[in-house]
Amino acid sequence: GQQLNQSPQSMFIQEGEDVSMNCTSSSIFNTWLWYKQDPGEGPVLLIALYKAGELTSNGRLTAQFGITRKDSFLNISASIPSDVGIYFCAGGPAGGTSYGKLTFGQGTILTVHP
């Protein structure tokens, strides 16, 4: 089945630094989504990407849908302590009758030191 490789697995950064994480796949996706999960909570949708090459920002977050449709990255600029959490990428299906099932990356655990 489809798999997503998300990297890095974890990051330890100082407050104010920029962060970059990415996901790659051997299969194409029609949608790329980025979620953030706080401890003990459900994931929250940060950014949704629908077109190859699309670059979208949401405040300090910027994400891009790779031109090959097999990868995406998420950047966080000027990190703050509340950015701490687990970030997941998710790929939306390229067709078929999957009812919109998402394929998730393994997650990137972000720690921000004040």
Partner 1 sequence: GAVVSQHPSRVICKSGTSVKIECRSLDFQATTMFWYRQFPKKSLMLMATSNEGSKATYEQGVEKDKFLINHASLTLSTLTVTSAHPEDSSFYICSAKPGTSSTEQYFGPGTRLTVT
91-110: which residues touch partner 1 (CB under 8 A)?
A: 92-93, 99-102, 104-107, 109
CB 60 within 8 A of CB 77: yes
* Least distance between partner 1 and beta carbon 15 (Å): 22
CA distance 72 to 89: 8
User: Looking at 12-20, 27-35, 61-69, 70-78, which segment touches partner 1 (CB under 8 A)?
Assistant: 27-35
DSSP, collapsed to helix, strand or coil, labels residue 102 as: coil
Report the candidate in 77, 51, 80 with the shortest Cα–Cα distance to residue 64: 51
Interaction with partner 1 in 34-63: which residues (CB under 8 A)?
Answer: 35, 40-45, 48
Which residue from 30, 62, 66, 70 is in contact with partner 1, where contact means CB under 8 A? 30
Q: Residue 64 or 107: which CB sits closer to partner 1?
A: 107
Token pair 């994480």 is found at 21
**Residue 16 CB partners (closer than 8 Å, separation 6+):** 78, 79
Task: Give residues in contact with partner 1 (CB under 8 A).
Answer: 30-31, 33, 35, 40-45, 48, 86, 88, 90, 92-93, 99-102, 104-107, 109
